[in-house]
């Protein structure tokens, strides 16, 4: 029996990130690969994570007054061409539909890489007066970007799921105010659901979204200490409004362009979550996002029936509050089951055997640190409640500690290069704000400015490249 576990379990170390990550995702039956490179199958546990993130985020959006819509998957090529900068960026990674059945299409259609262009054609029709503003629409959908870089599930794929919010306001002030609202929601979701810490900031001019006036992002770390961009918010000013002719008659009888934002959280965050929290036993999922939160494993002995009966009672009771699975499969040892549910990342395991029943207790095991507790059954509900919170907090704290240990403040270029060679992670370094320095650093070291943190309290020193006065402490990193 135990050989079977060995082959089922994770065979690589987390330091070998690519292989470990792939094993964790597939052996836990969280995802599977498909025959189309860069397209992945979300099995029930993974789909549940996304559904939960989606519901929690959408609930917050709705509180702000953002409404959900659905626009078509296919975008005529002529729409894409309307905003030049955006088109230049996306044209090399668009999947093109050229045929319907046996007929060649007159105009090829893009499978949406993002929906600005198709949505703004409609916005231009729908928005006439100040009364039509603000217009705050969002959609939850699939998008396709035909990337040729090495794909990695959730992190870099050709199809992914996301929200794309696209709003229009009468004034710059109102549009800008939306930034903190939306980034606030994303921050809450990352922290409270995914147990992930981040660095919030503004993108540099070089790194901002094609077509945006300013981009903002939440940047995180992968276990290999490379940075990865999470949810983002883009302030587009009147750029798209001018390309798509989105104008309104204001109260003062003047015709004006609208001010716009776009924002997104994608399934990528699931990959960041899995990579950060999981270990060499397999998947680790924060309790709020776990399809199964508690697994009960009855330890059978002579008194099978009594144990099973008690296990079922427990399951019934706990199911009022939690998502519970009773693993009453026969023909598998408890050890086999323990390994399997650890591999699958179930946050809490309850073991119950004849001895436990005599003592009116159970053994509770946490997935995050494999700590064991003997708990009197009467106290079980309370203990579970506490443990769920503790597990979440512990995962967050561990990830936060890892992040903090990998934020290095440097004041000169030699130190900068040394950290990149040894330690990696985020490097906060003084920067003059000039794209020339940014580009030279990127060329010479491979590190880019991931963002310019909102928190500039540690601004200090001279630009590490040119030696002029620093405008910002920029957040450099080698990144995905």
- Residue 458 C-alpha from the chain's centroid: 28
Q: Does 418 bind its own copies (CB under 8 A)?
A: no
Q: Does 248 bind its own copies (CB under 8 A)?
A: no
Among 12, 52, 122, 171, binds its own copies (CB under 8 A): 122
CB-wise, 57 or 475, nearer to its own copies? Answer: 57
Least spacing, CB of residue 47 vs its own copies, in Å: 5
- Given a contact cutoff of 8 angstroms between Cβ atoms, the answer to whether 396 and 191 are in contact is yes
DSSP state of 470: P
Q: How far apart are CA 64 and CA 284, in angstroms?
A: 32
Least spacing, CB of residue 136 vs its own copies, in Å: 10
Region binding its own copies by CB under 8 A among candidate stretches 67-75, 194-202, 231-239, 366-374: 67-75
Residues 302-341: x where in contact with its own copies by CB under 8 A, - otherwise, as a string? ---------------------------x------------
CB-wise, 137 or 476, nearer to its own copies? Answer: 137
Residues 24-53: x where in contact with its own copies by CB under 8 A, - otherwise, as a string? --------x-xxx--xxxxxx-xxx-xx--
Q: How far apart are CA 220 and CA 450, in angstroms?
A: 10
Total of residues contacting its own copies (CB under 8 A): 59
Q: How far apart are CA 180 and CA 202, in angstroms?
A: 12
CB-wise, 13 or 131, nearer to its own copies? Answer: 131
Q: Does 380 bind its own copies (CB under 8 A)?
A: no
Region binding its own copies by CB under 8 A among candidate stretches 153-161, 280-288, 366-374, 380-388: 153-161
- Given a contact cutoff of 8 angstroms between Cβ atoms, the answer to whether 206 and 439 are in contact is yes
Q: Does 396 bind its own copies (CB under 8 A)?
A: no
DSSP state of 203: P
CB-wise, 92 or 379, nearer to its own copies? Answer: 92
Q: Does 245 bind its own copies (CB under 8 A)?
A: no
Cα dist from 373 to 181, 284, 337, whole Å: 41, 19, 18
Q: Does 366 bind its own copies (CB under 8 A)?
A: no
Segment 90 to 119, residues that bind its own copies, using CB under 8 A: 91-103, 108-109, 111, 118
Of 265, 291, 356, 365, which is closest to residue 44 (Cα–Cα)?
A: 291
Residues 196-235: x where in contact with its own copies by CB under 8 A, - otherwise, as a string? ----------------------------------------
CA–CA–CA angle 190, 288, 38 (5° rounding): 60
Q: Does 128 bind its own copies (CB under 8 A)?
A: no
Region binding its own copies by CB under 8 A among candidate stretches 7-15, 71-79, 335-343, 448-456: 71-79
Q: How far apart are CA 152 and CA 21, in angstroms?
A: 9
Of 412, 418, 405, which is closest to residue 430 (Cα–Cα)?
A: 412
Antiparallel, parallel or unpaired: β 426-431 and 407-409: parallel
CB-wise, 20 or 50, nearer to its own copies? Answer: 50
Q: Six-digit token pair at 282? A: 């397999």
CB-wise, 102 or 457, nearer to its own copies? Answer: 102
CB-wise, 69 or 306, nearer to its own copies? Answer: 69
Please, which residues bridge with residue 167 across strands? 136, 261
Among 59, 125, 371, 385, binds its own copies (CB under 8 A): 125
Among 159, 174, 192, 224, binds its own copies (CB under 8 A): 159
- Given a contact cutoff of 8 angstroms between Cβ atoms, the answer to whether 13 and 280 are in contact is yes
Least spacing, CB of residue 137 vs its own copies, in Å: 7
- Given a contact cutoff of 8 angstroms between Cβ atoms, the answer to whether 110 and 75 are in contact is yes
DSSP states of 239-278 as a string? HHHHHHT-EEE-TTS-EEE-EEEEEE-BTHHHHHHHHHH-
Handedness of CA 30, 33, 37, 42 (dihedral sign): negative
In sequence order, which residues have a C-beta less than 8 Å from that of residue 151 and are 6 or more positions away? Answer: 37, 38, 157, 158
Among 11, 16, 67, 460, binds its own copies (CB under 8 A): 67
Q: Does 151 bind its own copies (CB under 8 A)?
A: no
Neighbouring CB atoms inside 10 A of 92's CB total 10
Region binding its own copies by CB under 8 A among candidate stretches 124-132, 204-212, 270-278, 307-315: 124-132
CB-wise, 13 or 125, nearer to its own copies? Answer: 125
**Which residues in this chain contact its own copies in the complex, by CB under 8 A?**
32, 34-36, 39-44, 46-48, 50-51, 67-76, 79, 91-103, 108-109, 111, 118, 121-122, 125-126, 131, 137, 139, 141-142, 144, 146, 148, 158-159, 161, 329
């Amino acid at each position: 029996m135990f050989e079977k576990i060995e082959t089922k379990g994770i065979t690589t170390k987390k330091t070998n990130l690519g292989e470990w990550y792939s094993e964790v995702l597939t052996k836990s039956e969280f995802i599977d690969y498909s025959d189309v490179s860069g397209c992945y199958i979300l099995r029930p546990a993974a789909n549940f994570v996304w559904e939960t993130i989606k519901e929690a985020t959408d609930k917050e959006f709705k509180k702000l007054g953002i409404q959900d819509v659905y626009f078509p998957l296919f975008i005529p090529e002529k729409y894409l061409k309307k905003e030049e900068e955006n088109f230049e960026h996306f044209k090399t990674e668009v999947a093109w539909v050229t045929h319907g059945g046996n007929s060649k299409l007159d105009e090829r259609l893009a499978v949406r890489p993002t929906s600005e262009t198709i949505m703004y054609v409609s916005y231009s029709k729908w928005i006439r007066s100040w009364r039509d503003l603000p217009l705050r629409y969002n959609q939850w959908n699939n998008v396709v970007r035909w990337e040729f870089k090495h794909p990695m599930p959730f992190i870099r794929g050709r199809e992914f799921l996301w929200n794309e919010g696209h709003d229009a306001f009468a004034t710059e002030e109102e549009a800008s105010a939306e930034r903190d609202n939306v980034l606030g929601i994303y921050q809450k979701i990352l922290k409270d659901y995914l147990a992930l810490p981040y660095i919030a900031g503004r993108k540099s001019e070089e790194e901002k979204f094609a077509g945006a006036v300013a981009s903002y992002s939440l940047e995180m770390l992968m276990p290999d200490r490379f940075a990865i961009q999470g949810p983002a918010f883009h302030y587009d000013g009147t750029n798209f409004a001018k390309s798509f002719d989105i104008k309104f008659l204001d109260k003062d009888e003047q015709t004006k362009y609208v001010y716009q934002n776009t924002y997104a959280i994608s399934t990528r965050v699931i990959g960041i979550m899995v990579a950060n929290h999981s270990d060499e036993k397999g998947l680790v999922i924060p309790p709020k996002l776990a399809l199964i939160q508690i697994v009960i494993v009855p330890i059978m002995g002579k008194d099978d029936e009594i144990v099973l009966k008690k296990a079922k009672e427990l399951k019934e009771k706990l199911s009022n509050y939690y998502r519970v699975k009773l693993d009453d499969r026969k023909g598998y040892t408890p050890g086999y089951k323990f390994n399997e549910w650890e591999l699958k990342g179930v946050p809490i395991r309850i073991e119950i055997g004849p001895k436990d029943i005599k003592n009116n207790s159970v053994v509770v095991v946490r997935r995050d640190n494999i700590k064991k507790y003997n708990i009197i059954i009467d106290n079980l509900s309370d203990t579970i409640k506490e443990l769920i919170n503790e597990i979440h907090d512990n995962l967050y704290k561990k990830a936060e500690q890892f992040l903090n240990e990998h934020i290095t403040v440097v004041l000169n270029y030699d130190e900068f290069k040394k950290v990149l060679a040894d330690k990696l992670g985020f490097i906060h370094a003084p920067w003059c704000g000039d794209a020339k320095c940014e580009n030279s650093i990127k060329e010479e070291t491979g590190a880019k400015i991931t963002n310019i943190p909102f928190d500039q309290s540690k601004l200090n020193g001279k630009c590490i490249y040119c030696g002029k006065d620093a405008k910002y402490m920029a957040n450099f990193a080698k990144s995905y």
